[in-house]
Chains A and B, each alone.
Chain A
């Protein structure tokens, strides 16, 4: 394990982890901080990688937990980007909230309004292209649970799209 390189083993996970952290924290700067902490944690544990099994699963679990901690500490569990932005009126956040609102699209609104587990599962399936089995392993839940959560998420999105268009 002495010859492993951070650049080739851990760093390639950064974008994937960032998307997961961003869907939970709803804030780019916080999401980057979460990814940074996660990557450093994964790197520090490199002597245990052989016992860990899937490095990606370990990194995703760490990232998700850290992102949830951040949102919990900020007292905005599962809040959407709109709600967070209106709750932070500083100049920096005001600017970032304007940018965020501009970029906030229908899908992101719909996805961001889902409960965190559904949101993460939808992201792993629809954006990261993971199988139900892989998602179950990554989140340490059963495949059936994955399908149930995903079904709930998609049903909600379908209903909302239908409401928006009628």
Chain B
């Protein structure tokens, strides 16, 4: 890899001829592990600039300052929720519920397909079944049935008895 550009940038950096963007390029370059031996001595210098930039006041400093000037200190809301056994199992319940719904739908679909023989019944067969049933009723309760049949219009009776 050609490091001529970086070497030129570095020379210009020492001479204060680099822009802020070019200095950022140098810093980014030296952040990587793979730096050639000729540039290695300068790596630590650029890396530690990041560390200096990360230096900050202590954690409670801002709170102290806000109290000093009489401004409200933001309260850190960090509620600890006690998780009950039931609440912990909630995801499992949800999963079980989903499985149950899927099984119900699957069963219903399966049943509707397996009842195909009923759906395939022809009109002639249905008429035969109905006639048999009516005949059966007539045998069981002949008086009541004959009275009902008399009350019906003639075309309906013929349909029933056909």
Chain A residues in the interface with B (C-beta under 8 A)? 5-7, 11, 14-15, 18-19, 22, 28, 32, 35-36, 39-40, 43, 105-108, 110-111, 123, 125-129, 131, 147, 150-151, 154-155, 157-158, 161-162, 164-165
Task: Give the CA-CA distance A16 to B101 in the complex, in Å.
Answer: 60
Contacts of A6 in B (CB 8 A): 65-66, 69, 71
Contacts of B56 in A (CB 8 A): 14-15, 18
By the criterion CB–CB under 8 Å, are B55 and A154 in contact? no
Interface class of chain B by DSSP:
helix
Task: Give the CA-CA distance A162 to B42 in the complex, in Å.
Answer: 9
By the criterion CB–CB under 8 Å, are A7 and B14 in contact? no
Contacts of A36 in B (CB 8 A): 61, 64-65, 68
Interface residue stretch chosen among B15-23, B90-98, B154-162? B15-23
By the criterion CB–CB under 8 Å, are A18 and B48 in contact? no
| Known contacts A161-B42, A164-B41: A151-B15 contact under CB 8 Å | yes
Return B19 CB to nearest CB of chain A, in Å: 9
| Known contacts A126-B49, A161-B41: A147-B16 contact under CB 8 Å | yes
By the criterion CB–CB under 8 Å, are A14 and B13 in contact? no
By the criterion CB–CB under 8 Å, are A18 and B41 in contact? no
